[in-house]
A and B are shown apart, each in its own frame.
Chain A
Amino acid sequence: MRISSFFYTIRQGLKSIFRNKWFSLASIATIGACLFLFGIFYAILINFDNIVKTAEKGVSVTVFFDEGISDDRIQEIGNLISMRTEVSRIDYISADEAWESFKVDYLGEYSDGFLENPLEDSASYEIYLSDVAMQGTLVTYLESVEGIREVNRSEITANTLSGMNTLIGYVSIGIIGILLAVSIFLISNTVTIGISIRKEEIQIMKYIGATDFFVRAPFVIEGIIIGLFGSLIPLGIIYIIYNNIVEYVVGRFQILTSLIQFIPVETIFQTLVPVSLAMGVGIGFVGSFITVKRHLRV
């Protein structure tokens, strides 16, 4: 392809957007609406996922040891537990630490009556999981370890969080599926309109002896540019909306801030920007490619 033809093609692609401005606007709006919904749901889901993940980090299993167990054996058990893949962190709480904590939490000034540590045999390991769904496996293992007297766990919390995780997974798939179906419907409608606008133009080009590539190239460039705008606009809107909502919620409902840690928009955009751009450009490319292809056989 000559350089002049290359620039001509680019110019025609750009001009075509302005020539068919209503069609271009409709296409940008369609792609933009789909990607806006996608972005919003992505931001909601990723925040929700973050809440669950944060809650998961707090879920722990506590193990207590047999009476009179040696420090060496406790150390050994600690090493065994640390090696498990489902374990993310393990904290040792000595009997004295446990008593101190109990006094602060429950007894306050009434603790003076105790001369000895009543929790002498209450040294423990607090084990944090990398995946809360693996709690059952870990507990079964811990119960089989020699020297462990008791395993305390929070089954309800673990099950709820694990269930939440599965639910988020299904909801994500469901929402993305619905959005895709809506997008395909809207975009195929826009493409159909595009076909009726372009049919005659493509036919004329083919009668004069234009190659498929020459006919297609400006349309494809037009589609890519439309796709680019169709993804940049919703990204801009999401950026503004997200920051405003976070600011509003944090300012208005301060109680929530201890429960919810909003993910910064920059972190969300690290994934959302490339995915949205790729989807926008991809939709524009495929849409225009198909539109033209249907009429190339002249």
Chain B
Amino acid sequence: MKTREKVKHTRKKNKLISDDMIVMTNVSKSYSTGAPALNGVTLNIKKGEFVFVVGDSGSGKSTLIKLLLRELTPTEGKILVNGCDVERLKRRKIPKFRRNIGVVFQDFRLLKDRNVYENVAFAQRIIQIPTRDIRKNVPAMLSTVGLAGKYKAKPKQLSGGEQQRVALARALVNEPLILLADEPTGNLDPKNSWEIMKLLEEINAKGTTVLVVTHNREIVNTMQKRVITMKKGIVVSDEEKGGYIDED
């Protein structure tokens, strides 16, 4: 499969030094105004882990995601993603770096004027996968997320849960090493939320490192995964098989 070859090639370049997938050492991020969004965060997420990051608004969760995507650079500290020093990454290398990271947002962020097939195929087109391979890979990925029959539908014709599954399919079609999910169930009802979480668990079982930022107490408490709790830019708790810690 061409996708796999391409991704492998990029992975080789990045030289996986250890089992660590994400290493953040004493990372701080300040914006021009106000208190720092992140303040001395140190984290280590291993390859193949499933991690929840929880915390209230303003706790620094979104900044964490933006730093991992290299949308922002830290004010202080060091971030390694798959052995790659994110801060030192040259601008022209960012697209290739991001191809190792699948990302899913609360608001789905699908290309509204393209159908389901085109939204997923788009991720493959940007890494220049030949069309004949795209024609095989995209339907396969759509059936994995349970949307094989809706490949012609436009995003607005789909429910929230279906749109999020399209976003997941797009994030996963290039077989990323890491999946970042920023409030993936934020706009979904409980039934759809659970379906998405099951999918994430299946993806994780296949070896992809999954990091989910969420507010969903029930999901966090039920799934019994590693939970990192943040408050005002600081990691206040990091527990294996943890639960949602209340503010009070």
Given contacts A8-B125, A298-B71, contact A207 B103 (CB under 8 A): yes
Q: Is the CB of A209 within 8 A of B98?
A: yes
Q: Find the B residue at minimum CB distance from A5.
A: B128
Q: Is the CB of A2 within 8 A of B109?
A: no
B111 at the interface (CB under 8 A from A): yes
Per-residue A-contact encoding for B129-143, CB less than 8 Å = 1, 0 else: 011000000000000
Q: Is the CB of B109 within 8 A of A200?
A: yes
B123 at the interface (CB under 8 A from A): yes
On chain B, the residues within 8 Å of A180 by CB distance are none
Q: Is the CB of B126 within 8 A of A214?
A: yes
On chain B, the residues within 8 Å of A19 by CB distance are 113
Q: Is the CB of A210 within 8 A of B131?
A: no
Q: Is the CB of B126 within 8 A of A210?
A: yes
On chain A, the residues within 8 Å of B109 by CB distance are 200, 203-204, 207
B122 at the interface (CB under 8 A from A): yes
Task: Give Cα A134 to B71, complex, Å.
Answer: 67
A201 at the interface (CB under 8 A from B): yes
Q: Is the CB of A208 within 8 A of B130?
A: no
Q: Is the CB of A211 within 8 A of B126?
A: yes
Interface of A is mostly: helix
B241 at the interface (CB under 8 A from A): no
On chain B, the residues within 8 Å of A208 by CB distance are 98-99, 103, 122-123, 126, 170
A4 at the interface (CB under 8 A from B): yes
Q: Find the B residue at minimum CB distance from A1.
A: B128
A197 → B minimal CB distance (Å)? 10
Q: Is the CB of B111 within 8 A of A201?
A: yes
Those of A159-210 within 8 Å (CB) of chain B: 200-201, 203-210
Interface centre among B69, B96, B110, B126 (most CB of A within 10 A): B126
B95 at the interface (CB under 8 A from A): yes
A151 → B minimal CB distance (Å)? 73
On chain B, the residues within 8 Å of A209 by CB distance are 95-99, 101, 123, 126-127, 174
Task: Give Cα A211 to B98, complex, Å.
Answer: 10
On chain A, the residues within 8 Å of B128 by CB distance are 1-2, 4-5
Q: Is the CB of B126 within 8 A of A4?
A: no
On chain A, the residues within 8 Å of B127 by CB distance are 209
Per-residue B-contact encoding for A17-36, CB less than 8 Å = 1, 0 else: 00100000000000000000
Per-residue A-contact encoding for B159-200, CB less than 8 Å = 1, 0 else: 000000000001000100000000000000000000000000
On chain B, the residues within 8 Å of A298 by CB distance are 71
B interface residues with partner A (beta carbon < 8 Å) = 69, 71, 92, 95-99, 101, 103, 109-111, 113, 122-123, 125-128, 130-131, 170, 174
19 more contacts with CB within 8 A, not counting A1-B128, A209-B123, are: A2-B130, A4-B128, A4-B130, A4-B131, A8-B125, A19-B113, A200-B109, A204-B110, A205-B126, A207-B69, A207-B109, A208-B99, A208-B103, A209-B96, A209-B99, A211-B92, A211-B126, A212-B92, A298-B71
Please name 11 pairs of A and B residues whose Cβ atoms are closer than 8 Å in the assembled complex, sorted by A: A8-B125, A204-B109, A206-B98, A207-B69, A207-B109, A208-B98, A209-B95, A209-B101, A210-B95, A212-B92, A298-B71
A interface residues with partner B (beta carbon < 8 Å) = 1-2, 4-5, 8, 19, 200-201, 203-212, 214, 298
